[in-house]
Amino acid sequence: MLPLAQIVIYKRKKTKGQQPQSPLQGSETTAVTMTTTTAIVSTSTTVADKEVITAPGVVPSPMAASSTSDSAEMAENILQNYGYPQNIIDSISYCIRVHSYSKQLVPASLEGRILQDADSLDALGAIDIARTFSVSGSEKRAFYRADDPFCRSSREPDDSQWTLDHFQAKLLKLKDLMHTKTAKKIAQQRTRFMLLFIRQLQKEI
């Protein structure tokens, strides 16, 4: 039975004739999620299965509407091929399937809640400010609504139209959805940074 990190290196997507990429190559999301997951686990006073927690963070996630299901199936196949016990595989698959913010679920397992926290932390702070505007630019989405950039009126945020609305629609809400003590602390810190960014924008726009 190979260590999870080694499995990931072997199984990363690759183009014909190329060696598999390291989990840290071409995937800043994977790197950040793994870092935040490790931070939460290492400082947690509650015992959790670290093997279950770390696996979902390094399994590639296809960019599709059913990405969590696709990722769970991919993880199951990888781990089965390398002889992982079925109970571990089931636990990992469950964590992957339920952790997504869009599903609006609270995982029943501690490991699932830790992964959900790590995934949410990945959407906070400097890295996600950069990612938000990068994605928005690639999708040719407007920077902000000219008559109300910061949702100060009674209108509902619409992040399908306006980039800055994404902060109100999702990002600034995440700190209240954390489960673990460590994640709550990190989320508060990162949210404060994002609010400073918004305040600076308010002075400039």
State pLDDT tens for residues 20-70: 343 333 444 555 555 555 556 555 545 555 555 555 544 444 443 357 777
Query: Nearest-CA neighbor of 79 among 68, 90, 69, 63?
Result: 90
What CA–CA distance (Å, rounded) separates 11 from 6? Answer: 9
For 98, residues 6+ apart whose C-beta sits below 8 A from its C-beta are 68, 105, 107, 108, 112, 116
Indicate yes or no: pTM above 0.85.
no
Mean pLDDT score across all residues of the chain: 74
Return the SS3 of 147. Answer: coil
What CA–CA distance (Å, rounded) separates 105 from 116? Answer: 9
Domain boundaries, the chain: 1-105, 123-205
* CATH classification for the domain delimited by 123-205, as one of 1.20.1630.10, 3.40.50.970, 3.40.50.620, 1.20.58.1910: 1.20.58.1910
Query: Interior CA angle at 126 toward 104 and 182, to 5°?
Result: 55
33 or 83, which is more confident? 83
How crowded is residue 127: how many other Cβ atoms within 10 Å of its Cβ? 17
